[in-house]
């Protein structure tokens, strides 16, 4: 039996995804028709491949749809859509995870080794002061979902002293885990390098505000490849101006692309990267989508299904 799959993501992505999707579905043993244009009969669509910059705002005509499969890890732009009654699955795949781990470990090592200062001091001065060992550097990861756990584990394997925080208690080998408000305070007060990998929900909006930035040790650095709305921009700029926060590397922003006039661009203590930490890659994402469709067709629960109540 064949299934109808509507590619309702950004149309510009279709050339990149068409072949990987067909190959992945064939390898999974799923007979399917891929639709790149709006279907004549929305009720006949079995699955929707979606991205927040795609072509669907009203999901109500898709009454036969068994699941909406998001191409992005973040679902904050769709999860509260009142017309969405179908199961929603976020993207969790090895390509996205590996990209995030590489980005986070690269920038943690950059700060740990003091590479920015070394590059700025190429003036003939021979300063032979070594950095501490990784075991003596305290790194905190806020958010212990799939990406946060992977990054925390990778840093721990490099012998960093890693603490993780989540809203609800987690137990993860190799790292110290905290939860709740008291746990957040404890995590922040010890963090020399802070990594933000939380989802954007009403509870995490501006989580890193002036009060919480003040809880960081003076001279701490911030790495945010999670969600732009996790940070109060004005509070971060004030903390950078005062020197309380030594530097921030930011990959995600409230408005993207980051406007040319935004003060982050010109701030001497900010590194801007253009949302490259964990881009979805067609080949690996297609396999995740095909696997979820196979599960749906064989009666198994979907992978990475979103809980609307929690927002992720």
Contacts of 131 (CB under 8 A, 6+ apart): 112, 113, 114
Torsions phi, psi for 223 (to 5 deg): -125, 120
Closest CA to 252 of 235, 221, 230: 230
CB of 94 closer than 8 Å to CB of 74: no
To the query of whether residue 135 is one of the catalytic residues in this protein, the response is no
Catalytic (active site) residue 247: no
180: left (phi over 0), alpha (psi -120 to 50) or beta: left
Residue of 255, 250, 194 whose CA lies nearest to 219: 194
Q: Select which of 170, 254, 269, 275 is catalytic.
A: 275
Degrees (nearest 5) of the Cα angle 276, 282, 286?
135
Only one residue has tokens 């005062």, namely: 242
Q: Which of 112, 137, 227, 247 is catalytic?
A: 227
Q: Are 67 and 292 in contact (CB under 8 A)?
A: yes
The catalytic site residues sit at 227, 275
């Amino acid at each position: 039996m064949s299934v109808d799959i509507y590619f309702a993501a950004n149309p510009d992505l279709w050339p990149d995804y068409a072949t990987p999707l067909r190959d992945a579905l064939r390898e999974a043993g799923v007979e399917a028709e891929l639709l790149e244009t709006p279907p004549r009969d929305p009720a006949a669509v079995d699955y929707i491949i979606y991205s927040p910059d795609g072509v669907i705002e009203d999901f109500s005509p898709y009454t036969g749809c068994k699941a909406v499969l998001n191409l992005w890890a973040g679902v904050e732009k769709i999860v509260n859509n009142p017309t969405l009654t179908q199961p929603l699955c976020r993207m969790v795949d090895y390509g996205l995870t590996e990209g995030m781990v590489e980005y986070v470990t690269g920038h943690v090592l950059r700060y740990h080794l003091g590479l920015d200062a070394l590059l700025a001091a190429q003036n003939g001065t021979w300063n032979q002061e070594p950095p501490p060992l990784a075991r003596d550097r305290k790194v905190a990861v806020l958010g212990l979902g799939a990406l946060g756990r992977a990054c925390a584990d990778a840093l721990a394997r490099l012998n960093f002293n890693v603490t993780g925080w989540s809203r609800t208690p987690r137990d993860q080998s190799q790292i110290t885990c905290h939860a709740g408000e008291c746990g957040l305070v404890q995590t922040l007060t010890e963090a020399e390098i802070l990594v933000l990998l939380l989802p954007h929900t009403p509870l995490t909006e501006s989580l890193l505000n002036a009060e919480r930035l003040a809880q960081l040790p003076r001279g701490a650095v911030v790495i945010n490849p999670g969600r732009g709305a996790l940070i109060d921009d004005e509070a971060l700029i004030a903390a950078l101006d005062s020197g309380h926060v030594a530097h921030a590397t930011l990959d995600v922003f409230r408005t993207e692309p980051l406007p040319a006039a935004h003060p982050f661009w010109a701030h001497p203590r900010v590194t801007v990267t253009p949302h490259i930490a964990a881009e979805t890659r067609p080949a690996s994402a297609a396999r995740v989508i095909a696997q979820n469709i196979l599960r749906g067709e064989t009666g198994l629960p979907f992978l990475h299904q979103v809980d609307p109540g929690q927002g992720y």
